Structure 1
């Protein structure tokens, strides 16, 4: 029985429960002999018909002496069942009882989607090296998915005002160019190397936060940037897949994503973070399209034909859709995971994500990687984790002092 049906049954039952017995003598009714009324189990839970409720006497019908009457024990049972059903499905109840299990689920899905995206993304570039076009596919797929979630009310739709749309433009520009440059790096060098360079983003974030907001962190936070820079230097010096294009694009994307994070904070205060990301992606799509005409348009048609001939047209188009879907979903789940934990935990989780991506990408593609590159990557990742942890502690201390 659904929660709605149980609640209606419970409402109907409470009025008869005030009467003394389930077997009632029809006394006091003129012209009618007293007799007993036997109540069947099926009729105890019978709902009034639509006709009965629409009539003038329909709402009073349960109070008539001939109406089936149930015991208080049955009433308590039905009311309890209705409350349990209304509280949610078994999965929701389980997560409510064990919140850490829900958090672990979010992190597990986040890691899985991120690894799937990075591996499939690189596989696409191996037979279709058009990163500017693929960047547009990522965001276009996100537009379709976000619209579906809004239409089905999986995500609550929030209508942006003119002020929000003006503010989101700068964020979208940073996101569009940063995202495209990251994909150029992915197409040029090993996935593991790009992710190692991406650990430098906190360095630019710290500088940008000071220049824009005048915010100063504690000394330990700044010291934690040293192992990040040292690790990237060690890795870059010995990376077998190193190219200046891949390195330069990854570094430029760090600057742009740091700027995006700084300017996004103003947008987060008035809207759900998932919707902020959806609108940023939609506006970013407009800025991602022009570079295609600058860098890839002259050979794009031939490249698509060659890719379809190599792997098959259906696989080619299916891969493009899947890589866009994984990109959007992993970002959305990352936002949901952030809402379940403190920033410190999320920062540490983000480091764990990079370890998973680097490890699985090496296994998937069999990339040759030197011992020095492994050491450099681990140092950089550890430094990024330490930075996130110490920065989170600073935020907690500042919040406690404010209260």
Structure 2
């Protein structure tokens, strides 16, 4: 029988001797060759395997056609390698981080928008409210109009289920009534002050709210202030006194009305700590403010009718040579802005800490003072500006040092 011998081209390897193979009618199944054929589109002709993409190899076998097996295994495709699995996992982790960053950015933008709306509504409230009180010096009726519009908005909000109406128990209602009473007086005194003095001066006096808060908390709650809190109150009191001495629109009625507003508003905060220590889950801050608004309207509407009568009717306003349409429009806008900035303030308080909210309130007062001075062209002396700046700096300092707790023995 004739045999054929193939020799390797490498001189370092010995010459291979031919080995005799007998063709088999049923060739042995080779899974590697079959898999390689499917993956690399190899052409099979009879029993001879041809792959133009493989490098040339030397084979040992007989001259007859028989199944041949390569010396080296065929490398796996890149799609089955382990590094790609790692890359897929890394890509998924990066996508998750990008999602978290996107959510954080969205929340930051939402909070910034709420702060901007809070300041904007407050600015327009003070401007429209001052314009109304200039030509219609009846702060009780003006305050009732604001509570009336707020009550209508609250009823619409509950009726159309924009915000879920709370279930109030008798004990909760008894606790809310004092809060509504001081809330009513606080807004009434503020409007009385705005009707007598400049907007900037009213808000400068109202910068003394921390002083009344510390005083009432010590008297009724037994919360003694730290030395840092007391130190922060000194520039507040000194700045307000300096601004008051040099204020061009100074008026004792406006001054004491603003002081009474500070007292009543801080009394509301103390009462809320004292009697609203534990609230049901259904009564959140927004619903609490809504209930207080409705009760304030109920409290003040009879007082306005008794004191001012029907002076807000078109006939009376025309007899007083007032622009009825303009007065009604500005009163409505002031009331809408009043209710809007209060609601947004509570929405911000649900998202940030009380200290952050206090700092934001201090910045809001600065923005309102500057905008009112520019809009009404209020004359401000350098010493008056200095006093206002010192007072507001003290308020900012107070909001920062308030977190410092006294050391316990």
Could you state the TM-score of these two structures normalised by the residue count of structure 1? 0.71
1:111 aligns with 2:123: no
1:209 aligns with 2:217: yes
1:368 aligns with 2:376: no
1:288 aligns with 2:300: yes
Deviation of 1:293 (Å):
4.5
Secondary structure of residue in 2 paired with 1:200: helix
- Among 253, 261, 267, the alignment partner of 1:245 is 253
- Among 321, 337, 346, the alignment partner of 2:332 is 321
**Residue 283 and residue 262 in structure 1: after superposition, are their counterparts in 2 closer, same or farther (change >3 A)?**
same
The unaligned stretches of length 5 or more in structure 2 are 1-100
2-structure distance, mates of 1:268, 1:184: 32
Deviation of 1:307 (Å):
8.3
Secondary structure of residue in 2 paired with 1:281: helix
- Among 227, 232, 236, the alignment partner of 1:228 is 236
1:273 aligns with 2:285: yes
**Residue 304 and residue 123 in structure 1: after superposition, are their counterparts in 2 closer, same or farther (change >3 A)?**
farther
Match of 1:175 in 2: 183
Query: Is 1:173–1:284's contact at 8 Å kept on the other side of the alignment?
Result: yes
2-structure distance, mates of 1:274, 1:299: 32
The unaligned stretches of length 5 or more in structure 1 are 1-92
Aligned pairs for 1:54-65 (under 5 A) are none
2-structure distance, mates of 1:101, 1:152: 28
2-structure distance, mates of 1:300, 1:370: 37
Query: Is 2:128–2:331's contact at 8 Å kept on the other side of the alignment?
Result: no
Query: Is 2:124–2:337's contact at 8 Å kept on the other side of the alignment?
Result: yes
After superposing the two structures, state which structure 1 stretch, 97-106 or 294-303, moved more.
294-303
**Residue 156 and residue 394 in structure 1: after superposition, are their counterparts in 2 closer, same or farther (change >3 A)?**
farther
1:333 aligns with 2:344: yes
- Among 133, 140, 145, the alignment partner of 2:153 is 145
**Residue 304 and residue 215 in structure 1: after superposition, are their counterparts in 2 closer, same or farther (change >3 A)?**
farther
1:382 aligns with 2:382: no
1:133 aligns with 2:144: no
Query: Is 1:130–1:296's contact at 8 Å kept on the other side of the alignment?
Result: yes
Match of 2:46 in 1: none
Match of 1:21 in 2: none
**Residue 181 and residue 384 in structure 1: after superposition, are their counterparts in 2 closer, same or farther (change >3 A)?**
same
- Among 344, 361, 367, the alignment partner of 1:350 is 361
Aligned CA RMSD, in angstroms, stands at 2.3
1-structure distance, mates of 2:163, 2:392: 33
2-structure distance, mates of 1:244, 1:307: 31
Deviation of 1:292 (Å):
2.4
- Among 205, 221, 230, the alignment partner of 1:197 is 205
Deviation of 1:344 (Å):
1.8
Equivalent residues, number:
304
Q: Render the CA deviation track for 1:194-233: whole Å, top value 9, x for unaligned.
A: 0000011111111111111111232101211111000000
2-structure distance, mates of 1:307, 1:148: 34
Secondary structure of residue in 1 paired with 2:276: helix
Q: Render the CA deviation track for 1:352-386: whole Å, top value 9, x for unaligned.
A: 10111001101111111111111111111111111
Query: Is 2:200–2:369's contact at 8 Å kept on the other side of the alignment?
Result: yes
Deviation of 1:316 (Å):
2.1
Could you state the TM-score of these two structures normalised by the residue count of structure 2? 0.70
1-structure distance, mates of 2:171, 2:102: 41
